[in-house]
Structure 1
Amino acid sequence: MTENLKKNNNLIGKIFLPSSKSISNRLLIIRFLCENDFEIGNLSNSDDTKILEKTLYKIKNSSKKDEFIKFNIGNSGTSIRFLTSLLSTQKGKFIIDCSERMKKRPIFIMVKALRELGADIEFLEKKNFFPLKIIGKNLISKTVEMDANISSQFISSLLLIAPILPDGLKIILNKKIVSSPYIDLTLSLLKEFGIKFYRKKNEISIKKGAFLEKNFFVESDWSSASYWYEFASFSENVNLEIYGLKEKSLQGDKIVHEIFKKFSIETFFKKNSIILKKNFFIKTTIFFKFDFSDCPDLVQTVVVTLCFLKIPFEISGLETLKYKESSRVETLQLELKKFGFILKYDGKILSWKINDFIINKNKNIFIETHDDHRIAMAFAPVILKNYNLKFNNPEVVNKSYPNFWKEIKIMRNF
């Protein structure tokens, strides 16, 4: 299936964003480990969260403790990593399978740490990669060291099970810590549910403890808001209210509002929403330099925005992008080249200069989404730049933002 988009240069109205799947997925693990059930309000309706919720239900209600229970988690990175740690603590036998792309995303750092705690995990195909065979058991408590330069989800996965270990857990983080706000998010939620911890620089200690029974309402997703910031930057008239976002948010991608202020988009915070407006008195930056180590999910949105605003840039903190749903630097280069933008990447810095452009008079562009939801959503606003776009596999947005195309059609008055 493909998705055609057309042009309309006004961005005036209201948007109801999906809830944060990062928060939702962590809450599902906490609720599973809590002795008493509690309500999660505004739980994400993303494919990732649905997969995790369905899998946890199957685990909790399975009576076949002596037989292997098989799960296919598809392309849900958060779910499969959180489940790897969780299943290591649960009595039973499990096989976790996934998509072909997920089988290329390394898992050894987390498996190594879990094995040090006594976990029984076996690689079923290629060493250090999914799928896995897990025999759940009682794990031990000890200090483990983990490289923190690949994925923060490895660390969050262990942090979530730490309170049920005999004496908690201490993790020492080595190398550059990427996506640090997601670790902070996990710790904030643990604290919210009664778990005590101590953090000093690269050391995190989690105390053994019982999770509190506490209803929780999930805030909207700042990562999803980024695409509307991009729409705003390409629009002539902007007065867009986005519901469910908080000024004091747990999410690191909230920084998007500071980034887009450099592109003349101003954010006004209300009690339960934000309003985006274009402020022509704020001078758009003439050169952009930024380290995305703490917010890698914003890279595609910001890079596409920069190119079509013709703003030269040098950005870093991209090392983890090759382990995402697609190899994101590479797929950005491929898709932007269709419009004439030639991006250069030396393994650390992704850059573009005004002269790195080949004129392409073709206005009918086919976007290959590469099974990556963020590629699809980052290129959607380019309709405002006089292009006729067609997207392959537009349903890929269901991974995080199921109503994305519907919201666009309503907002753009199609």
Structure 2
Amino acid sequence: MKTIQISCPLDSLKGTVALAGSKSISNRVLMIRAFSGRDFPIAGLGNAADTVTLQRLLASAAQTSVEPLDAGPAGTTFRFLTAYLAAQEGTQVLTGSERMQQRPIGLLVDALRELGARIDYLEKEGYPPLRIHSPQGLGRVAVLSIPADTSSQYITALLLLAPTLPAGLQLKLEGTIVSRPYIEMTLRLMQYFGVRHRWEGNLIAVPPQTYQPQPFRVEADWSAASYYYALAVLFPDTDLALCGLYADSLQGDAVLAEMMEPFGVTTVFEPEGVRLRKNGKPLPQDFEYDFLRCPDLAQTLAVICAAVGARGRFRGLETLRIKETDRIAALQAELAKVGVALRAEDPGQGSFVLQGR
């Protein structure tokens, strides 16, 4: 096997980074703008491929394009658009990449059909592509149940649609909620745009109401910030400013600031964002964390553990196998190249142990 040696002659990490806007927030605000039917400015909109695709497809849908709407590999885009198109006049075909057509959509389609949506599968039952027709009696039921451990994108798609339904929606989440931060993000954004809700136990009630357009600024992406935190761990000296990150964040990934303290990186919150500095703590020999509320941080933390020689125990990774790619398999393959093993501790339960080097 060919080996490439990479070295960095620097011993300090200093500067200012302008991070892109949060993809999760950007996509939700774009959907709220579409559901509102009125334009309003969105500053700091993310530039992720998912967000760019969503913008393009929303524009095409508004023109009732006869061409299929292709979401590519973007799961969020596909799921949000499924709910949105179910409430729009006209017939649209929604498709995606080969990988997207392997990812189930049946649970969301079943829920929308129960509400009165008219959606057909064009190929395999329960999977994209879809043909979505003009609604007839959408909102004929106002109470819906959905497994609480399903993708938060399904739940968010239904919540974003909820206030536009004639009687609103009471959404019952059955079982243990596994993606609470993303649901909370959705509801806080809806509240910002004038939509009230009630969340008691596992029941979320959204009355019928209208989104109130107003200017919005997207905060920077905490998940993207994790890569700079990883660099900060590896440098002896750090004074790095990351713009657009705030303590009162909508993102569950904001827990990163606390998570990185044991790795020697302190987060100082400033008016324009955060500043990373070293705190002098010795690097840990062991690291254990439940990523159920922030699964997108798991890969970065696995790489950090590998780099500093820490043994890691990672829980709550159940959803990483069903992303745009199998992130667990990809992480295992890449870590193995540097002599680090990531092994399932409890097969089927999303718990893994990392060790090596």
TM bracket (short chain)? over 0.9
**TM-score, normalised by the number of residues in structure 1:** 0.81
What's the counterpart of residue 162 of structure 1? Answer: 162
Q: Compared with structure 1, are the counterparts of its residues 6 and 85 closer, same or farther at alpha carbon in structure 2 (3 Å cutoff)? A: farther
How far, CA to CA, are the matches of 1:286 and 1:148 in structure 2? Answer: 35
How far, CA to CA, are the matches of 2:160 and 2:263 in structure 1? Answer: 38
Counterpart residue type for residue 126 of structure 1: K
What's the counterpart of residue 52 of structure 2? Answer: 50
Q: Compared with structure 1, are the counterparts of its residues 294 and 305 closer, same or farther at alpha carbon in structure 2 (3 Å cutoff)? A: same
Q: Compared with structure 1, are the counterparts of its residues 286 and 5 closer, same or farther at alpha carbon in structure 2 (3 Å cutoff)? A: closer
**Structure 1 residues 123-134: aligned runs within 5 Å:** 123-134=121-132
Runs of at least 5 residues in structure 1 that lack an aligned partner in the other structure: 358-414
What's the counterpart of residue 175 of structure 2? Answer: 175
What's the counterpart of residue 103 of structure 1? Answer: 101
User: Is 2:302–2:354's contact at 8 Å kept on the other side of the alignment?
Assistant: no
User: 1:213 and 2:213 equivalent?
Assistant: yes
How far, CA to CA, are the matches of 1:246 and 1:256 in structure 2? Answer: 12
Q: Where do 4+ consecutive residues of structure 1 move more than 6 Å?
A: none
**TM-score, normalised by the number of residues in structure 2:** 0.93
User: 1:15 and 2:13 equivalent?
Assistant: no
Counterpart residue type for residue 186 of structure 2: T
Where 1:187 maps in the other structure, the secondary structure is: helix
- Tell me the CA shift for residue 105 of structure 1: 1.6
What's the counterpart of residue 144 of structure 2? Answer: 144
Q: Compared with structure 1, are the counterparts of its residues 35 and 325 closer, same or farther at alpha carbon in structure 2 (3 Å cutoff)? A: closer
- Tell me the CA shift for residue 9 of structure 1: 4.0
What's the counterpart of residue 304 of structure 2? Answer: 305
- Tell me the CA shift for residue 6 of structure 1: 5.5
How far, CA to CA, are the matches of 1:173 and 1:222 in structure 2? Answer: 27
User: Is 1:69–1:93's contact at 8 Å kept on the other side of the alignment?
Assistant: no
What's the counterpart of residue 77 of structure 2? Answer: 79
- Tell me the CA shift for residue 148 of structure 1: 2.6
Q: Compared with structure 1, are the counterparts of its residues 323 and 195 closer, same or farther at alpha carbon in structure 2 (3 Å cutoff)? A: same
User: Is 1:55–1:71's contact at 8 Å kept on the other side of the alignment?
Assistant: yes
How far, CA to CA, are the matches of 1:125 and 1:295 in structure 2? Answer: 34
Percent pairwise identity:
39
Runs of at least 5 residues in structure 2 that lack an aligned partner in the other structure: none
- Tell me the CA shift for residue 201 of structure 1: 2.1
**Structure 1 residues 212-231: aligned runs within 5 Å:** 212-231=212-231
- Tell me the CA shift for residue 285 of structure 1: 2.9
What's the counterpart of residue 252 of structure 1? Answer: 252
Where 1:285 maps in the other structure, the secondary structure is: coil
**Structure 1 residues 165-204: aligned runs within 5 Å:** 165-204=165-204
Greater shift after overlay, 135-144 or 114-123? 135-144
Counterpart residue type for residue 300 of structure 1: Q
- Tell me the CA shift for residue 35 of structure 1: 4.0
Counterpart residue type for residue 103 of structure 1: Q
Q: RMSD of aligned C-alpha atoms?
A: 1.6
Where 1:342 maps in the other structure, the secondary structure is: strand
Where 2:133 maps in the other structure, the secondary structure is: strand
Counterpart residue type for residue 326 of structure 2: S
How far, CA to CA, are the matches of 2:161 and 2:268 in structure 1? Answer: 38
Deviations 1:10-60 (A, max 9, x none): 211110000111111111111112143211111112221111111111111
Where 2:242 maps in the other structure, the secondary structure is: strand
Deviations 1:80-136 (A, max 9, x none): 110000000001111111111112222122111111101111222222111111113
What's the counterpart of residue 348 of structure 2? Answer: 347
Deviations 1:177-220 (A, max 9, x none): 22211110100011111111000121111111011121111111
Counterpart residue type for residue 86 of structure 2: S
Counterpart residue type for residue 59 of structure 1: A
